[in-house]
Amino acid sequence: MQDRPSAKDLLEALADFLEREAVPVVEDPRLRFRLMIAGNLARILEREADLEETLLQSERKRLLPLLGKGLPGTDPSGSQLREEVLNLNQDFGRRIRAGEMDMGPAAQKAFAHALATLEGKLAVANPKELEKMKAERKKS
């Protein structure tokens, strides 16, 4: 791990270079498209570096009570947090398949959790689509 520039800073610089300098001068449509994809991937990784810890902590805090597990005294971080959320999601999926989240308050809480998780994933992968989704929801 380096002090400066951070991984996020490097990804931002890479995306800026691809979007502002490389893509505009490339004439080959296939290569231009691939450079645009590379720039988008760098932006996704940049957002993930920025949001991952917060999103995983939020997901964990929703899943623990949903699954009837208490909040432990300390919050994990890094790979330990990712592993715990993965395990909680596996338990959540098992309970959905078993029909434990089909009715009543459990179904409402499961849906709210799934929607919040989707919004977090869209904030990383496609924030413009997230804004469209929120705007559509306001209209309804």
pLDDT at residue number 72: 65
Cα 31 from Cα 37, distance rounded (Å): 10
pTM, rounded to two decimals: 0.83
Q: H helices of the chain, where?
A: 7-16, 23-25, 29-66, 78-97, 104-125, 127-139
Q: For residue 90, count CB atoms less than 10 angstroms from its CB and return exposed for 0-12, middle for 13-18, buried for 19 or more.
A: exposed
Q: Exposure pattern of 13-27 as b/e (b: 16+ CB <10 Å)? A: ebbeebbeebbeebe
Task: Evaluate if residue 59 carries a pLDDT over 70.
Answer: yes
Encode pLDDT of 32-45 as tens digits: 999 999 999 999 99
pLDDT at residue number 2: 62
